[in-house]
Structure formats: structure tokens, C-alpha cells
Structure 1
Amino acid sequence: MADLSRLPGRAEHEWQWQLRAACREVGPGRFFHPEGERGEDRSARDHAAKKVCAACPVRAQCLRHALRVQEPYGVWGGLTEEERRAVLVPHRVTA
């Protein structure tokens, strides 16, 4: 579950970017995998979702939102949940 304490609240201007999102006309099935989806099926769905994101005029805002609230599921801003986790993991410096 997303960390709701990180959501920006009811300030309408914080959410206006969603009205211009390319995914609004596609539906959630392309961006959120069904339970148990693996392998080629999941890769194909992720690829199709990322293709929508690549042409989205609010991709940066979407990704910023997903990283800020730590969205645990789906493709947001062109990154899967695994890719977002990798971005959020602090880089370790080894001696």
C-alpha cells in the first residue's frame, strides 16, 4: 500500500497533472499486473504500459508522485515497481 502520509492532500492544484495523463484513456489493466503474472506476459504488459508513458505529457509529474508516495504497484511515470524501488535504494559506497 502507498504511504498515504506522503500524499499531498486535497490541494487540487497538486492533482491537475492527472487530467492530462495519457493513461486516462487506456484503463488500469495495462499498468497493474494481475496476481501471479510472470515472465513474458508480464514483460509484454510492462512494455505496453511504458510505451504509453513514453508519449505522456505528464510523465515527469507522474514519476515524481510515485517516488514521493512510494507507490508499491504498477507502472508509473514509465517505471515498474521494481525499477522505482531501485531508484529509492540509497547508493552504497564501498571502500
Structure 2
Amino acid sequence: MTSAASSTSGWEQHAACAGTPIELWYGPDERPESGHEAYWRRRHAKNICARCPVRTECLADELLQSRADQHGIRGGMTPREREQLLATWRRGGLIPAEKPPSSETVRTLLIQEVPSSSAS
């Protein structure tokens, strides 16, 4: 993906999305896209994420952002899917409800729970 990175960890250089058009991950800026276009764009992006060697790192970095700062496909998930994952963890008592989770907790949970392919 070609954008300013939210993390300085260096994992971005190993991402399967490196060099892909930013529109694939966030949608077009200049026009609205149809539901059909959005579906296929997201599916294509998720397929790239599914084979990414740093998928967990990408998703963890995004999950640590505030809801207002989460956009596009990251780590193979949409903002809605990421929020649902966080809500599930909160309900299960795996992360605190009243404050952001720690980076270590998120990474541990992702290693345990994120399937190797969520291309749909």
C-alpha cells in the first residue's frame, strides 16, 4: 500500500500490499463506488492480506488506533469487522472495556484467533 505508515516498526516493507494502489485499500476518492465495486475491491484486498507475511502486525497496529482513525482494509479486515472483533474481546473480558488494549495483548490475541485466510 502506498501511504504514510502508522507504525515505525518496519514491518511495512515486508507487506504483500507494498506498492499497490491506495484505492484498493480505501476506495476511490474522486467518486462513490457501487456496492458491487466495493465488494470486489475489498475481496481483492483481503486476498492480498491473506498471503501477507506481516498480516498480524498490520492488523494489530490498526486495532490499536481509535475508531475514528480506522479506515479501509487492514490486516484482512474492514473497519466494521475490526470493531466486531474488539467488541467480542471486550465481551469476553479479554481486553478492557474502558480503555484501549495494550499492544502485547492485541498481538497475543491475534496470534490465537486470526484465521490464516479471510478472503470473503
> Does the alignment reach a TM-score above 0.5?
yes
Unaligned 5+ residue runs, structure 1?
A: 1-6, 9-13
| Unaligned stretches of 5+ residues in structure 2 | 1-5, 93-120
What number of residue pairs does the alignment pair up?
A: 81
1:32 to 23, 26, 30: 26
Mapping 1:1-95, distance limit 5 Å: 14-34=8-28, 36-70=32-66, 71-89=69-87, 90-91=90-91
Counterparts of 1:74 and 1:83, CA distance in 2: 11
CA RMSD across the alignment: 2.0
Deviation at 1:15, TM superposition (A): 1.9
Give me the whole-angstrom Cα distance separating, in 1, the residues matched to 2:16 and 2:72.
15
User: What TM-score, normalized by structure 2, do the two folds share?
Assistant: 0.59
Give the % identical residues: 32
Hey, which bits of structure 1, 4+ residues long, moved more than 4 A?
Answer: none
Deviations 1:70-90 (A, max 9, x none): 442110000011111111223
Of Structure 1 and Structure 2, which has the larger fraction of its residues in helix?
1
1:37 & 1:86 partners in 2: Cα distance? 24
